[in-house]
Amino acid sequence: MKMTRIALAVSATIFASSAMATNGTNMTGVGAQSSAMGGTGVAAYYGAENVIVNPAMIGKSTGTEFSFGGTVFMPSVASDLGAGETDSAADLNVIPSVSMTSRINENLTFGIGMYGTSGMGVDYFDDATLLKAQSTMQIMRFVPTLAYNEANFGIGFSPVIQYGALDINYDDGGAFGANNVGTGMAQDLGYGFNLGGYFDITPETTIAASYQSAIEMTYENVLSTASTPFNPLLGYTFSDDLEQPAEIKVGLAHTMGNYMVTADFKQVRWSEAKGYGDFGWEDQNVIALGAKYNSKNYWLGLGYNKADNPIKPMDGTAPEGGTINMFNNLFFPATTEQHFSLGGGYNLSENATIEGAVVYSPEVETAVAVDAVFGAGATSTTTHSQLGYTMSGVDTLFST
């Protein structure tokens, strides 16, 4: 298991300054096709990349497929605590993804994937005038999968090994009794599972559902240390638990000749997750839509993803509410709500395809009261937009 931790940690360093607050902290889609199609994929077959969304869907594969790629993610985040707006320097990240599926026999398919799935962070250390803050969170999942299928239905199961890393540090200039706060990055391994199924109502229409379990994570001395200077306001110390929440997903895919339309609904249960519930995060409903055109040598797709901000402001005039508002809005601005996407793929040969997608999230502005922390009438204002480019290569090594 030590080697598993090392392998996941090495992969996670590729995106060491993550700021991927999309659907909360989770990416809207993993892989070029899912990203292009609004993050859908519960009921739509996209090949090897289906491993992470709905393990049952790899039962629709016909041979062996390998996919490798990554996302260049460019968030634009700025914060104003009343002393002028400061831009976050954490504005460029590279997120890897690799997956493989192979049909064992007529009814069984094996798959495996390693993905960067979640993250968030900011870097105001060099330019901030009021609070020099940095935060980084990274989540990488290793997902072996086994799927069973019959002619018109299938089920799949994935044990999930999750690597996580979290760091929070800041310099308060002595305003809260400490200058340099932070103990460095903490890491943890967590375990969960993903269970899914699909049913073909007709050859053209598929319905599907999947469940991702919550995964317990503890980042020793990170949140507790970060909150220590604020203990007089909070009346307690933050726990170091920050659990990845459970997710319930349902989807529909319908094909009409060369066209396919997809629709997914997902609920992310932030309110039940340790840590996120303490920070006032609420359950998040995500609606994703996609449309795709397939020809013999290429495909084109577009999509839309909508998810309300899960962070609900607290009473900033109260000591606890003002402190939690500040931590949420400054360190973890998971505030984007809408995502527009498009992409396509081209067959370089009979077995090799290159695919790409672009995802754009327009700017949102969030202002919360932090009177209890910075004085009467004080607010924390954050603006946030996103742009991401995903590229992947797909090699169909064998197809029956």
Looking at residue 21, what is its pLDDT?
Answer: 43
- Residue 28 CB partners (closer than 8 Å, separation 6+): 22, 35, 38, 39, 288, 305, 339, 341, 359
DSSP-assigned beta bridge partners for residue 148: 108, 155
Looking at residue 178, what is its pLDDT?
Answer: 65
Looking at residue 81, what is its pLDDT?
Answer: 83
80 pLDDT band, cuts 50/70/90, is confident
Q: Give, as one character, the DSSP assignment of residue 31.
A: S
129 pLDDT band, cuts 50/70/90, is low
E-state strands within the chain? 63-80, 86-87, 93-103, 108-123, 132-149, 153-171, 180-181, 186-202, 205-212, 247-256, 259-268, 284-294, 298-307, 338-347, 352-369, 379-399
- DSSP string for residues in 75-143: EEEEEESSS--EE-S---EEEEEEEEEEE-SSSEEEEEEEEEEEEEEEE-TTT-SS-EEEEEEEEEEEE
Helix or strand or coil: residue 223? helix
What token pair was written down for 366? 């969030």
The single residue listed with the structure tokens 């996302």 is 71
Looking at residue 6, what is its pLDDT?
Answer: 41
Q: Is 400 exposed, middle or buried (0-12, 13-18, 19+ CB in 10 A)?
A: exposed
CA distance 87 to 127: 8
Q: What share of the chain in percent tops pLDDT 70?
A: 92
Condensed to tens digits (0 to 9), the pLDDT of residues 256-299 reads: 999 999 999 999 999 999 999 889 999 999 999 999 999 989 99
DSSP-assigned beta bridge partners for residue 142: 114, 161
| Secondary element (H or E) of residue 374 | helix 371-374
Q: Which amino acid does the sequence have at 158? A: S
Q: CB atoms < 10 A from the CB of 3, how many? A: 7
Lowest mean pLDDT segment, chosen from 33-37, 195-199, 371-375: 371-375
399 pLDDT band, cuts 50/70/90, is low
Q: Which amino acid does the sequence have at 155? A: I
Q: pTM here?
A: 0.89
Whether the pLDDT of residue 20 is over 70: the answer is no
Looking at residue 18, what is its pLDDT?
Answer: 44
Q: Is the CB of residue 99 less than 8 Å from the CB of residue 111?
A: yes
Mean pLDDT is highest, among 17-31, 259-273, 361-375, 378-392, for 259-273
Lowest mean pLDDT segment, chosen from 134-138, 200-204, 339-343: 134-138
Domains in the chain, ordered, with CATH?
2-399 (2.40.160.60)
CA distance 340 to 49: 20
Which of 172 and 161 is assigned the larger pLDDT?
Answer: 161
Lowest mean pLDDT segment, chosen from 196-200, 331-335, 351-355: 331-335
Looking at residue 165, what is its pLDDT?
Answer: 95
CA distance 204 to 152: 11
Looking at residue 117, what is its pLDDT?
Answer: 81
